[in-house]
């Protein structure tokens, strides 16, 4: 299998959100080293291009962090370097993640002109109280302005990221956000339930009983609200947390869900190639030091046995509502998923969590919100 997707990690943000455990830092921490970081990315990609064929790349995703915190010149220069190293002949989706407060008309026009054709905007909520509590660096009005500006500057594939299950969030507040987002007409909506991650300000608040999280039933109600409102407004749910207008599914994330090969560059980025999963050094300072010495910045390398790949492919494919294509699975692993997991699949079908026919295995409507229970059977 060829590498199909390239991920580029930009670990800088305006400020650190209180729930965030991504590998990101407020920009002032690395202010003097941003160009060095971009140079290191280029160096890493060049090193990889000598070992790994990059001609099969179909999607590129610049994520973070907040890539649009970089100035226009830095972004354009980086894209130029990318085009010198990567064969773009098969690339048809190039996404950049953006946050309100880091985009201008000039930047959006330039990015679109240079080849980025999809933008993913971190809106998260359109309730000012919630945004403030989350530590987001923008308010609702600025988030609306960011999505509107992206559309006005010609972006034809816009994703909006949302979070539900937030402290003090009611279903009514969530519904209000959803309706306002729909009015903005994004092509794609990713909506994730909040997870309290360790080593974040919200995890300390949680353990000190300072976080008024909604009950499990309320979170489920929000998930059902999401499915209903988006469904009624022409969005097709194609993955547990992702909805799109026709033909606007994320090609990049679909590579992950199909458990195909991808390459990640930048501090903390993950890659999967040649039956190996490797993770770059997470600490950005150490990542830079490593590349300055001409070394590959690998922090951890795992050889994945066939068994592990089968298990991962099962639950990654099941995230997609189209499910597992039995013929593709058999072609890849030489065994039918039904033969491999006969008892598990039988049990989950009897519980009405999986729908199985001769071509596919997929989550049922009842199984979608209980997907984690289903996945545990294949781990
Ligand atoms: S903007 Fe995104 S990556 Fe940056 S701190 Fe907030 S949640 Fe994390």
What is the SS3 assignment for 7? strand
Same domain (yes/no): 170, 78: yes
**What pLDDT score does 120 carry?**
98
Please indicate, yes or no, if residue 310 is contained in any of the structural domains: no
Same domain (yes/no): 253, 334: no
The residue among 29, 101, 100, 23 whose CA lies nearest residue 64 is 23
Which structural domain range is residue 351 located in? 320-376
d(CA 50, CA 85): 10
Confidence class for position 63, pLDDT limits 50, 70, 90:
very high
Q: Which of 242, 257, 272 is the C-terminal boundary of a domain?
A: 257
- Residue 352, Cβ density class (10 Å: 0-12 exposed, 13-18 middle, ≥19 buried): exposed
The residue among 257, 259, 280, 258 whose CA lies nearest residue 269 is 280
* Candidate of 11, 14, 15, 17 to mutate for ligand 1, largest count of ligand atoms within 8 Å of Cβ: 17
Place of tokens 């390239």: 6
Share of the chain above pLDDT 90, in %: 99
Same domain (yes/no): 347, 199: no
Within 8 A by CB and 6+ apart from 14, the residues are 26, 27, 66, 69, 99, 101, 102, 137
99 lines ligand 1 (CB under 6 A): yes
**Number of domains composing the chain:** 2
What number of residues does the chain have?
A: 379
Q: Which of 240, 257, 274 is the C-terminal boundary of a domain?
A: 257
Same domain (yes/no): 149, 76: yes
Q: What is the pLDDT of residues 194-226, one digit of tens each?
A: 999 999 999 999 999 999 999 999 999 999 999
23 lines ligand 1 (CB under 6 A): no
163 lines ligand 1 (CB under 6 A): no
Residue 18, both tokens: 């209180």
Peptide bond into 65 cis (omega under 30): yes
Rounded to an integer, the average pLDDT of 152-161 is: 98
Confidence class for position 31, pLDDT limits 50, 70, 90:
confident
101 lines ligand 1 (CB under 6 A): no
Largest CA distance in the chain: 59
Same domain (yes/no): 113, 206: yes
22 lines ligand 1 (CB under 6 A): yes
As beta bridge partners, residue 13 has 26
- What sign does the dihedral 239-140-142-152 (CA atoms) show? positive
Please indicate, yes or no, if residue 265 is contained in any of the structural domains: no
CB 155 within 8 A of CB 185: no
* Candidate of 122, 142, 192, 200 to mutate for ligand 1, largest count of ligand atoms within 8 Å of Cβ: 122
184 lines ligand 1 (CB under 6 A): no
Q: What is the pLDDT of residues 103-133, one digit of tens each?
A: 999 999 999 999 999 999 999 999 999 999 9
CATH number, domain at 366? 1.10.10
**What pLDDT score does 323 carry?**
98
Please indicate, yes or no, if residue 282 is contained in any of the structural domains: no
Average pLDDT of the residues of the chain: 97
Same domain (yes/no): 154, 12: yes
CA of 192 to the centre of ligand 1 (A): 14
Phi/psi for 174 (5° steps) reads: -65, -45
Rounded to an integer, the average pLDDT of 159-173 is: 98
Question: pLDDT at residue 304 above 90?
Answer: yes
Confidence class for position 54, pLDDT limits 50, 70, 90:
very high
**What pLDDT score does 294 carry?**
95
**What pLDDT score does 18 carry?**
98
* Candidate of 99, 120, 124, 161 to mutate for ligand 1, largest count of ligand atoms within 8 Å of Cβ: 99
Give the residue, by CA position, lying nearest to ligand 1 atom 5: 16
122 lines ligand 1 (CB under 6 A): yes
Please indicate, yes or no, if residue 299 is contained in any of the structural domains: no
24 lines ligand 1 (CB under 6 A): yes
Give the residue, by CA position, lying nearest to ligand 1 atom 2: 65
Please indicate, yes or no, if residue 49 is contained in any of the structural domains: yes
CA of 233 to the centre of ligand 1 (A): 28
**What pLDDT score does 11 carry?**
98
242 lines ligand 1 (CB under 6 A): no
Give the residue, by CA position, lying nearest to ligand 1 atom 3: 65
CA of 239 to the centre of ligand 1 (A): 22
CA of 130 to the centre of ligand 1 (A): 15
Please indicate, yes or no, if residue 286 is contained in any of the structural domains: no
Same domain (yes/no): 338, 215: no
CATH number, domain at 247? 3.80.30.20
As beta bridge partners, residue 298 has 280
102 lines ligand 1 (CB under 6 A): no
CB 112 within 8 A of CB 153: yes
Please indicate, yes or no, if residue 109 is contained in any of the structural domains: yes
CA of 181 to the centre of ligand 1 (A): 20
Q: Which of 209, 240, 257 is the C-terminal boundary of a domain?
A: 257
**What pLDDT score does 277 carry?**
97
Distance of CA 15 to the CA centre of its chain: 20
Confidence class for position 269, pLDDT limits 50, 70, 90:
very high
- Is 0.90 exceeded by the ipTM? yes
- Residue 198, Cβ density class (10 Å: 0-12 exposed, 13-18 middle, ≥19 buried): exposed
As beta bridge partners, residue 302 has 277
Distance of CA 222 to the CA centre of its chain: 21
Same domain (yes/no): 115, 186: yes
d(CA 227, CA 242): 10
Same domain (yes/no): 243, 328: no
Same domain (yes/no): 251, 350: no
Spell out the alpha helix ranges (H) of the chain.
34-51, 72-85, 105-114, 128-134, 140-152, 171-184, 201-207, 216-232, 251-257, 284-292, 306-319, 326-333, 337-340, 342-350, 371-376
Residue 97, both tokens: 């993640």
As beta bridge partners, residue 270 has 279
CA of 246 to the centre of ligand 1 (A): 29
Please indicate, yes or no, if residue 295 is contained in any of the structural domains: no
The residue among 302, 320, 312, 332 whose CA lies nearest residue 360 is 320
Strand 188-193 versus strand 242-244 pairing type:
antiparallel
As beta bridge partners, residue 242 has 190, 239
Same domain (yes/no): 334, 253: no
The contacts found for 171-174 with CB under 8 angstroms, 24 or more apart, are 171/218, 171/221, 171/222, 171/225, 173/125, 173/127, 173/130, 174/222, 174/225, 174/226
Same domain (yes/no): 103, 176: yes
């Amino acid at each position: 299998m060829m590498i199909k997707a390239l991920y580029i990690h930009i670990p800088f943000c305006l400020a650190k959100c209180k729930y965030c455990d991504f590998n990101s830092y407020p920009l002032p921490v690395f202010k003097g080293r941003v160009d060095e970081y971009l140079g290191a990315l280029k160096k890493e990609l060049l090193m990889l291009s000598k070992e790994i064929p990059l001609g099969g790349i179909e999607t590129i995703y610049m994520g973070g962090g907040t890539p649009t915190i970089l100035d226009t010149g830095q972004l354009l220069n980086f894209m130029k370097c990318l085009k010198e190293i990567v064969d773009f002949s098969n690339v048809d989706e190039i996404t950049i993640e953006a946050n309100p407060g880091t985009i201008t008309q000039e930047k959006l026009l330039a990015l679109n002109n240079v080849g980025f054709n999809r933008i993913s905007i971190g809106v998260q909520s359109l309730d000012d109280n919630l945004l403030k509590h989350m530590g987001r660096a923008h308010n609702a009005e600025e988030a609306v302005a960011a999505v509107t500006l992206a559309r006005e500057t010609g972006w034809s594939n816009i994703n909006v990221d949302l979070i539900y299950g937030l402290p003090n969030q009611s279903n009514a507040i969530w519904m209000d956000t959803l309706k306002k987002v729909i009015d903005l007409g994004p092509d794609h909506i990713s909506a994730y339930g909040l997870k309290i991650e360790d080593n974040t300000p919200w995890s300390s608040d949680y353990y000190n009983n300072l976080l008024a999280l909604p009950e499990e039933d309320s979170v489920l109600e929000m998930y059902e609200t999401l499915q209903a409102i988006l469904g009624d407004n022409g969005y097709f749910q194609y993955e547990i947390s992702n909805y799109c207008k026709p033909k606007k599914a994320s090609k990049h994330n679909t590579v992950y869900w199909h458990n195909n090969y991808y390459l990640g560059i930048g501090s903390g980025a993950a890659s999967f190639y040649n039956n190996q999963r490797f993770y770059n050094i997470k600490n950005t300072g150490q990542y830079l030091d490593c590349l300055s010495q001409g070394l590959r910045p690998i922090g951890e390398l795992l050889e994945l046995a066939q068994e592990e790949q089968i298990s991962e492919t099962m639950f990654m494919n099941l995230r997609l509502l189209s499910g597992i294509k039995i013929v593709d699975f058999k072609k890849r692993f030489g065994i039918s998923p039904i033969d491999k997991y006969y008892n598990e699949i039988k049990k989950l079908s009897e519980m009405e969590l999986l729908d199985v026919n001769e071509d596919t295995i997929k989550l049922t409507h009842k199984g979608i919100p209980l997907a984690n229970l289903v996945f545990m059977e294949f781990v």
